[in-house]
């Protein structure tokens, strides 16, 4: 029985809360103003507000409220409104935290980007050096080719360049250029065919050297473009 009465009372209270007219909420607001104005820390401010409105509060502010309710309400409303307007609100209180959070995120993003650029420059420098060494070795081999001349230096420099490009391709699987450069270096005139198939006909050999020289320039330009992309991480893919 007691449980039923408690439940009925709770339901009745909820109904009254939902159906209560706006005046009830106004009373709550008025009560909040009275508590605000009569709190010990704001009584001096209430007196100053009353004097600014050219009213004379009594020494006992609670009695003044009873004796002169209109004057009290006028001074209290003014004080409550002024201090409520001065309240910075939740966003202003949260703003320093958000500013600090944004600054930290921006610093982290900049540091991450800077580190990525630095690492990219190291790889780019090594890649540029490797393609330059390969081109010089291949060019020297082509200019002074004789039957039986060793191509060990060309093979070693090509293997070094291909190895660096293969590592780069594994790190950037979406980039197509490293794979294309590897194909140029392992197939066609710059692959194993570079040191085989030379004959005694000078015209044919000269034409082949020109083809190899053009292929070397194309590989060099491709690798230099890849190296440049490594120093610009926010640019497009290669």
Residue 48 tokens read as 């100053």
**Lowest-confidence pick of 4-8, 65-69, 136-140:** 4-8
| 112-126 mean pLDDT | 83
CATH number of the 106-230 domain: 1.20.120
More confident position, 82 or 40: 40
Q: How confident is the model at residue 126 (pLDDT cuts 50, 70, 90)?
A: very high
Please say whether the dihedral angle defined by the alpha carbons of residues 44, 50, 51 and 55, taken in this order, is positive or negative.
negative
Mean pLDDT of 193-219: 82
Q: What residue segments make up the domains of the chain, in order of their start?
A: 25-86, 106-230
Provide the pLDDT for residue 161.
94
Residue 16 — pLDDT band, cuts 50, 70, 90?
very low
pLDDT of 221: 93
How much is the average pLDDT of 184-204? 80
> What average pLDDT does this structure show over 37-46?
83
Highest mean pLDDT among 15-24, 42-51, 153-162 belongs to: 153-162
Number of helices (H) and strands (E) in the chain: give both, helices first.
Answer: 9, 0
Q: Is the pLDDT score of 12 beyond 70?
A: no
CB atoms within 10 A of CB 26: 10
Cα-based angle 19, 21, 23 (whole degrees, multiple of 5): 150
> Scanning the structure block, which residue is given the tokens 């570079």?
194
pLDDT on residue 4? 45
Residue 228 is encoded by which pair of tokens? 């440049």
Q: What is the pTM of this model?
A: 0.52
CA 188 to chain centre: 44
The pLDDT mean for the chain works out to 79
Q: What are phi and psi of 148, to 5 degrees?
A: 85, 5
Count other C-beta atoms under 10 Å from residue 132's C-beta: 15
Which of 87-96, 167-176, 203-212 is predicted least confidently? 87-96
One DSSP character per residue, 101-115 reads: HHHHHHHHHHHHHHH
């Amino acid at each position: 029985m007691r449980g039923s009465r408690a439940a009925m009372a709770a339901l009745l209270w909820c109904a009254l809360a939902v159906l209560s007219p706006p005046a009830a909420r106004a009373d709550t607001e008025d009560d909040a103003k009275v508590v605000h104005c009569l709190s010990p820390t704001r009584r001096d401010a209430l007196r100053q507000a009353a004097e600014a409105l050219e009213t004379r509060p009594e020494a006992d502010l609670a009695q003044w409220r009873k004796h002169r309710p209109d004057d009290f309400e006028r001074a209290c409303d003014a004080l409550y409104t002024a201090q409520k307007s001065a309240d910075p609100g939740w966003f202003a209180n949260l703003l320093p935290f958000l500013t600090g959070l944004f600054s930290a995120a921006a610093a982290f993003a900049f540091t991450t980007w800077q580190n990525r650029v630095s690492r990219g420059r190291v790889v780019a420098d090594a890649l540029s050096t490797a393609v330059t060494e390969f081109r010089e070795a291949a060019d020297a081999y082509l200019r002074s080719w004789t039957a039986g001349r060793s191509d060990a230096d060309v093979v070693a420099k090509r293997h070094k360049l291909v190895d660096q490009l293969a590592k780069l391709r594994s790190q950037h699987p979406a980039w197509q250029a490293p794979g294309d450069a590897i194909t140029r270096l392992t197939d066609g005139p710059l692959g194993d065919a570079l040191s085989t198939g030379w004959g005694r006909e000078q015209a044919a050999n000269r034409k082949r050297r020109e083809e190899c020289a053009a292929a070397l320039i194309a590989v060099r330009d491709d690798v230099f473009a890849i190296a440049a992309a490594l120093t610009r991480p926010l640019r497009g893919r290669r």
